[in-house]
Amino acid sequence: MTTADQGSKAGEGMFANRLRKNVRHFRKWAKARGLTAFRVYDRDIPEYPYAVDLYGERVHLVEYPRRKAIKGGLEEQREEVLAAVKEVLDVPAAYIHVKTHLPQPWGRSQYGRVGESGERLVVEEQGLKFWVNLGDYLDTGLFMDHRLTRARVREEARGKSFLNLFCYTGAFTVYAAAGGATRTLSVDLSNTYLDWAEDNLALNGLSNARHTLLRGDALAWVLSQKDNPEETFDLVVCDPPSFSTSKRMQGTFNVQRDHVRMLEALGALLSPGGVLYFSTNFLGFELKDSAVRHYAKVEELTPGSIPEDFQRQQIHRCWRMVAPR
For residues 64, 69, 74 and 79, what is the CA-based torsion angle, rounded to 10 degrees? -70
Pick the CATH number of 14-100 from 3.30.930.10, 3.30.70.2740, 3.30.70.2660, 3.30.750.80: 3.30.750.80
Mean pLDDT (whole number) for 62-88 = 80
Q: pLDDT band for 312, please (50, 70, 90 cuts).
A: confident
Distance in angstroms (rounded) separating the CA atoms of residues 110 and 243: 9
Task: Reply yes or no on whether the pLDDT at 71 is more than 60.
Answer: no
pLDDT tens digits for range 12-69: 589 999 999 999 999 999 999 999 999 999 999 999 999 999 999 999 999 998 765 5
pLDDT tens digits for range 209-248: 999 999 999 999 999 999 889 899 999 999 998 877 766 6
CA distances in angstroms from 152 to 26, 94, 100, 311, listed in the order given: 22, 36, 32, 21
pLDDT tens digits for range 128-145: 999 999 998 889 999 999
CA distances in angstroms from 69 to 3, 14, 61, 274, listed in the order given: 20, 19, 17, 47
138-323: CATH architecture: 3-Layer(aba) Sandwich (3.40)
Burial class (CB in 10 A: 0-12, 13-18, 19+), 71: exposed
Asked if residue 63 lies in contact with residue 57, where contact means CB atoms within 8 angstroms, the answer is no
Asked if residue 122 lies in contact with residue 131, where contact means CB atoms within 8 angstroms, the answer is yes
Distance in angstroms (rounded) separating the CA atoms of residues 82 and 262: 43
Asked if residue 319 lies in contact with residue 289, where contact means CB atoms within 8 angstroms, the answer is no
Asked if residue 115 lies in contact with residue 24, where contact means CB atoms within 8 angstroms, the answer is no
User: For the chain, which residues make up each domain, given as ranges?
Assistant: 14-100, 138-323
pLDDT tens digits for range 142-198: 999 999 999 999 999 999 999 999 999 999 999 999 999 999 999 999 999 999 999
Rg (CA), the chain: 21
pTM to 2 decimal places: 0.91
CA distances in angstroms from 219 to 141, 162, 278, listed in the order given: 21, 17, 13
Residue 101 has what pLDDT? 82
Percent of the chain at pLDDT > 70 equals 88
Mention every residue, 6+ apart, whose C-beta is less than 8 A from residue 26.
Answer: 38, 39, 40, 309
Residue 254 is classified by DSSP as E
Task: Reply yes or no on whether the pLDDT at 3 is more than 60.
Answer: no
pLDDT tens digits for range 251-262: 788 899 999 999
For residue 160, the number of C-alpha atoms closer than 13 Å in the C-beta half-sphere is 25
Amino acid at 114: V
321 vs 253: which has the higher pLDDT: 321
